[in-house]
Copies of this chain bind each other. A is one copy, B any other.
Amino acid sequence: MANKRIGIWLIGAKGGVATTTIVGLTTLKKGLIGSAGLVSQLPQFESLDLADWADMVVGGHEIRDVSLIGEATKLVTESHTASQEWIDQCRDELEQIDRRIRPGCLLNVGQTIEDLAAAEVPRDASPRAAVKRLREDLDQFVRSEQLDRLVVVNVASTEPPADPASIPPQWSKMEPMLDDPQCPLPASSLYAIAALESGHAYVNFTPSLGSSPAAIDELARLRGTCHIGRDGKTGETLMKSVLAPMFARRNLRIMSWVGHNIFGNMDGKVLKDPDNKRAKVDSKDHLIHEILGYRPQTHVSIEYIESLGDWKTAWDHVHFTGFLGVPMSLQFTWQGCDSVLAAPLVLDLTRFTDLAARRGQTGELTFLASFFKSPQGVDEHCFDRQFQMLEQWAEGMKNDE
């Protein structure tokens, strides 16, 4: 039943994560690459009725004036994560996808992101006007590609945090605000509203607000569709979510946990703006005390170091107390390519979300917690226990069939 056409609509469609996702999907379709990094290809999910790569079609929104081929070529020349040969073989597909990418929305994205925008990107008069325009883009994509289902995934740059007090908890209160040009909802939430209103699934891979307000969850349930987020867990925070439980279960008391992240991609450039950075740091930091149940001193820094490009180096220093009150330490250095870590998870989330949607699941897809730094609707932050939620869901899906 899965061999129908499934759309993936990427918000930030020519950013590093999206471009890597697109190159990855296209090379997967051609059998040029293996399954490394793809969770949905693990043996325990083998018998699930997940969508085939061949049935997936990509479109998206983007605010910058760049070409997808150009961005894909940077994976070869700057990040050294793809080969020129692949780009050459996938040229037609990349050009097709590029033609499907529509101008994004700039409401409440913050000055730093606005500065990156092309002149052609429309300045929407109100949130309502924006949602209307975005829905039309989605409808058009579904129609012209004859899609059976659509999953919208936000992989755009991090927005400044919204003031939670300004966000009402009910959809009936939020809905009228869309007419107010001063409405504090950021673009990430407007994309979510546009997707869910039209009955599509929505996944927020970023720390931006997205679908996290209760009012938007309510909308999803009203429309009979599903969503999840927030902030893909790919590197340093993934490490935290396996190491903090280890310390907790051994009763080793953490005194301080310092994380220093350096990298030089677009994400890093946007995070140089302290407003945008705040959202990210919070998302990387909170799980430590949620796992431990107490609050050690923590510090997360993120610095834009141009020479590193998309290669992030994270150095963490954990200072802890053992038996007899003896202080000890753990340091780690994680050297990974952010886009390469994130892209397969975008594909995995699309497949799992699509299956859940087909099976009629609505609201927050909490079984996807292991993919996120701040999983919506879930208090469990231990990676392994989050992963068991995914495995148990998969068991349920199999029995369902």
In the bound complex, residues from chain B placing their C-beta under 8 Å from that of A315 are 260, 315, 317, 331
Among the listed B238, B305, B324, B337, which residue makes an inter-chain contact with A319, where contact means beta carbons less than 8 Å apart?
B305
B24 touches A323 (CB 8 A): yes
Residue on B with the closest CB to A329?
B335
Is the pair A251, B35 in contact by a Cβ cutoff of 8 Å?
yes
Given A245-B384, A252-B36, A340-B322, A297 and B307 touching (CB < 8 A)? yes
Q: Is the CB of A249 within 8 A of B301?
A: no
- Interface 9-mer from A77-85, A96-104, A147-155, A212-220: A77-85
- Measured in the bound complex, the distance between the Cα atoms of B27 and A321 in whole Å is 17
- For the complex formed, measure the closest distance between the CB of A72 and the CB atoms of chain B, giving whole angstroms: 12
Tell me if A136 is interfacial: C-beta within 8 Å of chain B. Answer: no
Does B341 contact A337, Cβ atoms closer than 8 Å? Answer: no
Q: What residues on B are CB-neighbors of A24 within 8 Å?
A: 323-324
Q: Which residues from B are CB-within-8-Å of A327?
A: 307
Residues 296-324 of chain A, each 1 if its beta carbon lies under 8 Å from chain B, else 0: 11010101011110000101010101111
Q: Does A387 contact B (CB under 8 A)?
A: yes
In contact, A258 and B336 (Cβ under 8 angstroms): no
B323 touches A249 (CB 8 A): no
Alpha-carbon distance between A242 and B336 when the two chains are bound, in angstroms? 19
- Asked, given contacts A246-B238, A260-B315, A315-B317, whether A337 binds B343 with beta carbons under 8 Å apart, the answer is no
B336 touches A333 (CB 8 A): no
- Per-position contact with B for A2-31: 1 when CB-CB < 8 Å, else 0? 000000000000000000100110010000
Instruction: Please name all residues of chain B whose beta carbon is closer than 8 Å to the beta carbon of A279 when the two chains form the complex.
Output: none
CB distance from A174 to the nearest CB of B (A): 36
Interface residues of A in 37-71 (CB under 8 A from B): 37-39, 41-42
Q: Complex Cα distance A51/B55, Å?
A: 61
Could you say which residues of chain B place their CB within 8 Å of the CB of A297?
A: 305-307
Q: Assess whether A361 is interfacial by the CB under 8 Å rule.
A: no
Known: A82-B324, A251-B344; 4 extra A-B contacts, CB below 8 A, are A36-B252, A37-B322, A242-B242, A262-B317
Can you offer 21 A-B residue contacts whose CB atoms are under 8 A?
Answer: A20-B324, A36-B321, A36-B325, A37-B252, A37-B321, A37-B324, A38-B251, A39-B251, A242-B384, A245-B384, A256-B307, A258-B262, A305-B319, A308-B319, A323-B343, A326-B337, A328-B337, A329-B336, A330-B333, A332-B332, A332-B333
